[in-house]
Chains A and B, each alone.
Chain A
């Protein structure tokens, strides 16, 4: 069984393409449409990587990150935040919440795959 990745984004198409890309590369992919949904899907289980949008209805990416890091199971889970150029002010908040990897939207699936393999290996 491959490594598991949770993708959190309110855009179904983003989830679909990211999911497709990562599955194609051998990862197991979970999907959630916002932070609340993601925390629920995670429960007490552990994933190898979380990819999360910042700007989402319901619970946004930063709040989600803080709550996730507070849970022992995913304290060390690497997170890739999806951001936009215009969302730079958010980046500082994300940094404080423990995010280090950022990918600027829009991105190509290949770029994402490269970042994922840097963080968790192929």
Chain B
């Protein structure tokens, strides 16, 4: 199945960086195709055993146990302003590693909830076009560029932007608003 394939590709490409730079993992959310550069991807696991965390924004799906580490999982569909992902047997968690904001040399592991993982695709840098100013289905600042495929375009996501804490600032606002909402 494609899970194994994408993972192997990742391993091989680690030895050839120039190659890896133009490789992207494509996946589907609510019928749309998206892509993420494979260099930030740690691994892909099947969905299972997520613990929800109360009083968090709806796009924080919960936390999972990844071999002893507790990793938050983000529901990308929710983050894009769509309805929550429907869990089925093809649902996957794409684990990505991001530099921790504020922490030097520290990285943070995050899971992205996707409907299904497709394949690893090659998009040479010259085939990545700037994002359209308008007309896309998600916030344009979440888009890094439009990847040109043989017969289609794929949205290349700006992952750090999507997950930037400065933009989300979720907990602190939420803390009070959630409480107030509940208390009233």
Physical contact A–B (CB less than 8 Å): no
Binding site for B on A (CB under 8 A): none
